[in-house]
Every structure is written in structure tokens, then in C-alpha cells.
Amino acid sequence: MPNDDRSDAPQTAHDPAAEVVELCRDLIRIDTSNYGDQDGPGERKAAEHVATLLDEVGIESRMIESEPGRTSVIARWGGAGAGGRDDGLLLHGHLDVVPAAAEDWQVDPFSGEVQDGYVWGRGAVDMKDFDAMLLSVVRARQRAGRVPERPIVLCFTADEEAGGHKGAQVIVDEHAEELEGVTEAVGEVGGFSATVRGRRVYLIEAAEKGMAWMKLTARGRAGHGSMINTDNAVTRLSAAVARIGAHQWPVRLTPTMEVLLATVADLAGTEATPENAPALIEEFGGAARMLGAVITNTTNPTMLSAGYKVNVIPTEATAYVDGRFLPGFEDEFFATLAELTGEGVEIEHVSHQQPWETPYEGHLVDAMTRSILAEDEDAVVAPYLMSGGTDAKHFRRLGMRSYGFAPLRLPADLDFTALFHGVDERVPVDALEFGARVFDRFLDDV
């Protein structure tokens, strides 16, 4: 795709963080709530905004709309230097956000208000902050003629918050030519700091659990609520849900978490073992909420539905379960789930996506580490496994090595992981500016 070829232009100083706060605020003000169904405004308005921002600096983009309003943006940039590299790098973020109930918030969740040194609003950490960092850095570099020699694909997707089926999956399945030559990818939920024993540890996402969103259905014999009924769908389903929700999954350490726990053990003056893994996770404070979920498989019942009248035993009862399984432990997960569910309950997959794990090594890892240490020289950098899912699950199907790297230097007392999909979501202004500077350094080194 053509853009302004400024490889021969003199390179000038630039400020990669100059626009990042205002760009983040502007994106938050565009409501892109994703309810997981046909409701919601879609991403079209945000996609048009991003396309305009790229066009203003001479980067041509393409909008891909899977259905009316569900819009992603993709553009090619870089690759104009004398290095002759042809191995592309994908930088991706998503435009949709989960819904927010305004009455629960201290501020309007779509105001992008700056208060107490934070940018507030839905998407401030998931993930319009990274979208803003990426756009701020790209626009500054493009204006200054500092276009990377490596070919870059910029991608801002729809529908990530509902599994990416109307965004990244469509791009991979129907528009793979847009990603031709791409060998590596960098996206969200990595590069943020957590404080352990007084040291900032920056967590690079190098793996994700697999996703098994499941609908459970039990069927039985309908009848009068006053009579004996030994074939009650509600009873059968409730027992299965209770077993699934109460099950204690065993600790299983993947290569990524072995590296992270060894790093933490070193700070704590001990050694990492499966037995003390939960204690080492607690060293992360609030972040243990996320990290505690990546040393085991997990199953959380989330929805229940049955019946239409108190004195009528229904024929059918349904429940939904959010299951997440570790890389390498899918067979164990589904075998155990079948035992817990028992007979007479059907399992249907609403979304079934594979886990992934990228070796924490190589030039891209070195570049991420160097860029953080250049801005925070006393930091520790280590990989982690993500409990949730990102669009990387789809892009990985094209063979890309993937990482999560949206760098943020965070206050030690901020319960950052609680802000994901939470009330009063917000990101520090100085963390946004830090992230833009780090990512700019990263692009110098990729």
C-alpha cells in the first residue's frame, strides 16, 4: 500500500508522546460498546477516526467491514529503508470496549475526562490506551521522516471483546493477503508494571490460555411442581454447575510461568516450585487476581436460565461457563470437564479458541526489554501468561510469533488488573506518555 516514502528525507527530532493523551481521550469519547450480540453502536465511527488520523500524515488505510457497523482498519507502513527487510511486523489493537453502566461510575465512562492525573473512561486500559500510543508514535515518526525499515502492518480491529469473530477472524479468514509476509505480531496486555519487593517488574505477554465458552443444557420431564419428579432438568443442571464451579484445578506450570516465577523467586530470595507457586503469585498484590488464574485451568459458571412459572417443572435448563485452559493441558481440561458435568448434560461451544505460547527469546524480546530499561533502568522484565484472550489467537493461526506489549509504568498502589472491564477504568497520564516513549524506542530496534 502506498504511503509517503520519506526514507530519503532528513530525520528530525520528534515527540512520540505529544498527542497520546488527547488521542486516548478522543477514542474513549467514541462509544464502541460491544454487547456480544447485534446491539451496540459498532466500531465504524472509531474506525473512520483512526483512518483519518493515518491519512493526515500520509498513511493510506483500508476499512474492512464484516457486517454493517462492525469495522476494522488496516494499513501498511514502513519498509522504506535501505535494509531490504521483508519480514513484516503486525502491530494490532482493538477498537471495541465492553459496556459500562454510567450510574456506577464516578465520571461519565465515555467522557475521557482527565482527573487526578488519570484519563478516565471505558477503554482507558482495554485498550484505547494502546491504540492511542500506537497512533501517537506512528504519526510523530511519519511527520519526522523516521519510518521503520521493517515493513509494519497497523491493524485496529472490531469485536475483540466478543472473541474477535467479526474482526480479527474475518481478516485472517477472508483478507489474509493484507498480512502477507508478516512473521511477528505485537498487541495488548503486556509491558505494564507490577511492584514486587520494591522493584517494578514489567510483564510481557508471551502466552494465552485457551478459551472454552460453553453452553450447558439439561433436559428432563416437564410436570407439576407439587409432584415427585426424578427427571428434573433444573436439578441435574444445578448439580453439574455446582461441581464445575467448586472444582479445584491442580497447579500446572507452563514454560512462560516457570520463567516469571523464577524471576519473582529470585527477588524474594527463594526458589520456584509448583508447591510455592501460589505464594509467589501473591507477591504481585492486586495483579495476583490475573496471575493466579494462569497456574491452573479455570471454569467459572456465569449464566443460568430455566423455567417460566414457579409451579411448573421445565423441560430444559441452560447454563453458561467461561472455561480457560493452559497451553499443553487442553486434553486434561476437557476430560475433567466431562467428568464434572456428568450424564444428561450437553456441552455446546459458544467460542472455542486455542491457547498459544511463544518462546520468550529472540530479537523482538530483546528490543522490548531494551526499550523499557532505557526509560526505567532499575526495572525487571519478564514474561507472563495471559488469563484472558486477545486477537493474537486469530493472528497466530497464520504462524506469527506473538507478544503483548503495551508498556505502562504504573504506581505501586494502583490495582491495575481490577480496572479491566471494571468500574472507574482509568490510566495514569504519565503512564501513557511513558508508554509512547518506550514504544518509540522499540520501533527503532525492531
List the pLDDT tens digit at each of the 446 positions of the chain. 334 444 444 567 899 999 999 999 999 999 999 998 878 999 999 999 999 999 999 999 999 999 999 999 999 999 865 556 789 999 999 999 999 999 999 999 999 999 999 999 999 999 999 999 999 999 999 999 999 999 999 999 999 999 899 999 999 999 999 999 999 999 999 999 999 999 999 999 999 999 999 999 999 999 999 999 999 999 999 999 999 999 999 999 999 999 999 999 999 999 999 999 999 999 999 899 899 999 999 999 999 999 999 999 999 999 999 999 999 999 999 999 999 999 999 999 998 989 999 999 999 999 999 999 999 999 999 999 999 889 999 999 999 999 999 999 999 999 999 999 999 999 999 999 999 999 999 999 99
* pTM reported for the whole predicted model: 0.91
Note the pLDDT of residue 300.
Answer: 97
Residue 58 CB neighbours (<10 A): 14
Distance CA 202, CA 269 (A): 19
Instruction: Give the domain 20-206+355-445 fold.
Output: Aminopeptidase (3.40.630)
How many helices (H) and strands (E) in the chain?
Answer: 12, 19
Note the pLDDT of residue 10.
Answer: 54
Residues in the chain, how many? 446
As given in the structure block, the three cell numbers for residue 303 are 449464566
Q: Distance between alpha carbon 323 and the CA centroid of its chain, in Å?
A: 16
Residues of the chain with CATH 3.30.70.360: 210-247+300-348
As given in the structure block, the three cell numbers for residue 59 are 498513511
Residues of the chain with CATH 3.40.630.10: 20-206+355-445
Among the CATH numbers 3.30.70.360, 3.40.50.720, 3.30.450.20, 3.20.20.70, which is that of 210-247+300-348? 3.30.70.360
Peptide bond into 386 cis (omega under 30): no
- The CB-based long-range contact list for 345-349 (8 Å cut-off, 24+ gap) reads 345/216, 345/217, 345/218, 345/236, 345/237, 345/240, 346/216, 346/217, 346/218, 347/214, 347/215, 347/216, 348/214, 348/215, 348/216, 348/217, 349/212, 349/213, 349/214, 349/215
As given in the structure block, the three cell numbers for residue 60 are 493510506
Identify whether the C-beta of residue 380 lies closer than 8 Å to the C-beta of residue 158: no
Contact partners, residue 30, CB within 8 Å, separation at least 6: 45, 46, 49, 110
Locate the DSSP E strands across 307-367: 312-313, 316-325, 345-353, 356-357
Q: How many CA atoms lie within 13 A of 313 on its CB side?
A: 19
- Cα separations (Å) of 281 from 40, 257, 278, 285, 287? 37, 10, 5, 8, 8
Q: Environment class of residue 20 by beta-carbon count within 10 Å: exposed (0-12), middle (13-18) or buried (19+)?
A: buried
The H or E element spanning position 183 is strand 182-187
Distance CA 251, CA 279 (A): 12
